[in-house]
């Protein structure tokens, strides 16, 4: 039963896409910013961990400990200094700002680390090779399982934050109607800065997952962005928080099944599913069309 194995591997791969997509969906849901630098930010996180591991022989998970707060701080400052200003100038300006940021990060990474392909898989020890073998054809890799578990944990934590904490409720209120949110005393700039900080923190986790399971270089960001974007759209752009994880899983399964048919079709079949969802009347297109009035990609309380 190769198909069963493909679907399982696809779901596990979907966990990675779900992590990458989560921050993208959060920033879009709260501020309507499509962060074109999202993939590059994940890769930046991966390079920071790589840099630490050059000098410090520890597990990549230990390297995450200082990198994660650094990236969260980076997200906060990025929102305060760059994106907040660009938001005043309409919808297009934040898009251009993040596009510029994407180029800056790519070039800065190449300048600092060169064009070589890197991976942190080597420093992760047996985790990369360990697998849970169910039968002769189905096996679940430790890394895949861990990534998927991390994805579910990230979404659950975000859901809990948004539905149960005062700060999360304020984020949902701001996402829905920023002007009214101001009138009840919510400082939307502070809320936006928190949202970006969280989104970039999650992107950094995605960067670690990427660095462990695969290779990365200065120019790996745009590929990650495309997969993240596809996952968000397949999940129904902004209809619910978990949609992005679901979209990631659909994308992952489409890719593994595609590669089973023909190894060259892996990425292509993911794109095809994305396009099918985009043109279907009930799918992503519907929510894209309704634009700003689409419900924010945040969970509803009590559901």
Partner 1 sequence: MLAAAGVRKQFGALAALGGVDLDVGPGDAIGIVGPNGAGKTTLLNVLAGTMAPSGGTVSFRGADVTRSSAARRARLGIARAHQVPRPFGAMTVFENCLVGATAGGGLRRRAAYARCLEVLELCGLIELADRRADSLGLLGRKRLELARALATDPVVLLLDEIGAGLTDAEAAELVAMLKALRGEQGLAVVWIEHIVHVLVQVVTRLVCMDAGRVISDGEPAAVMRDARVVDAYLGTAAA
Among 30, 35, 119, 172, binds partner 1 (CB under 8 A): 172
Q: Specify the residue, 79 or 188, whose C-beta has the smaller distance to partner 1.
A: 188
Return the range that interacts with partner 1 (CB under 8 A); candidates 77-85, 184-192, 194-202, 269-277: 184-192
**Is there a contact between 48 and 201 (Cβ–Cβ < 8 Å)?**
no
Return the range that interacts with partner 1 (CB under 8 A); candidates 172-180, 213-221, 222-230, 280-288: 172-180
| Residue 187 touching partner 1 (CB under 8 A) | yes
Among 5, 147, 170, 204, binds partner 1 (CB under 8 A): 170
Question: Please, what is the Cα angle at 270 between 268 and 271, to 5 degrees?
Answer: 65
Residue 1's Cβ-side half-sphere holds a number of Cα atoms within 13 Å equal to 9
Please list, in sequence order, all residues whose beta carbon lies within 8 angstroms of the beta carbon of residue 276, skipping any fewer than 6 positions away. 283
Q: Tell me the C-alpha distance between 183 and 51, whole Å.
A: 45
Among 181, 200, 210, 250, binds partner 1 (CB under 8 A): 181
| Residue 290 touching partner 1 (CB under 8 A) | no
Q: Tell me the C-alpha distance between 20 and 231, whole Å.
A: 9
- The count of residues interacting with partner 1 (CB under 8 A) is 23
Rounded to a whole number of angstroms, the minimum distance from the CB of residue 182 to partner 1 is: 4
Q: Tell me the C-alpha distance between 243 and 189, whole Å.
A: 26
Q: Tell me the C-alpha distance between 8 and 30, whole Å.
A: 32
Among 183, 279, 281, 292, binds partner 1 (CB under 8 A): 183
Interface with partner 1 (CB under 8 A): 166, 169-170, 172-173, 176-177, 179-188, 295-296, 298, 300-302
């Amino acid at each position: 039963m190769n198909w069963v194995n493909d679907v399982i591997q696809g779901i596990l791969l979907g966990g990675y896409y779900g992590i990458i997509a989560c921050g993208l969906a959060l920033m879009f849901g709260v501020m309507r910013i499509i962060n074109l630098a999202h993939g590059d930010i994940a890769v930046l996180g991966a390079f920071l961990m790589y840099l630490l591991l050059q000098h410090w022989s520890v597990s990549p998970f230990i390297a995450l400990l200082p990198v994660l707060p650094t990236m969260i701080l980076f997200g906060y400052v990025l929102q305060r200094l760059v994106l907040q200003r660009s938001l005043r100038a309409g919808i297009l300006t934040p898009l251009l700002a993040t596009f510029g940021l994407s180029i800056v990060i790519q070039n800065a990474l190449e300048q600092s680390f060169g064009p070589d392909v890197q991976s942190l898989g080597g420093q992760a020890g047996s985790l990369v090779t360990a697998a849970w073998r169910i039968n002769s054809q189905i096996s679940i890799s430790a890394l895949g399982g861990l990534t998927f578990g991390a994805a579910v944990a990230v979404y659950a934590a975000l859901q809990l934050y948004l539905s149960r904490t005062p700060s999360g409720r304020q984020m949902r209120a701001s996402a829905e109607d920023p002007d009214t949110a101001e009138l009840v005393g919510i400082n939307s700039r502070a809320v936006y800065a928190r949202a970006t900080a969280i989104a970039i923190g999650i992107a950094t986790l995605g960067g670690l997952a990427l660095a462990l399971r695969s290779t990365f270089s200065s120019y790996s960001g745009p590929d990650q962005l495309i997969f993240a974007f596809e996952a968000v759209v397949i999940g129904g752009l902004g209809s619910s928080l978990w949609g992005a994880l679901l979209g990631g899983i659909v994308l992952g399964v489409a890719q593994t099944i595609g590669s089973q048919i023909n190894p060259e079709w892996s990425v292509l079949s993911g794109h095809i599913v994305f396009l099918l969802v985009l043109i279907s009347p009930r799918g992503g297109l519907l929510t894209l069309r309704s634009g700003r009035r689409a419900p924010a990609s945040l969970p509803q309380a009590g559901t």
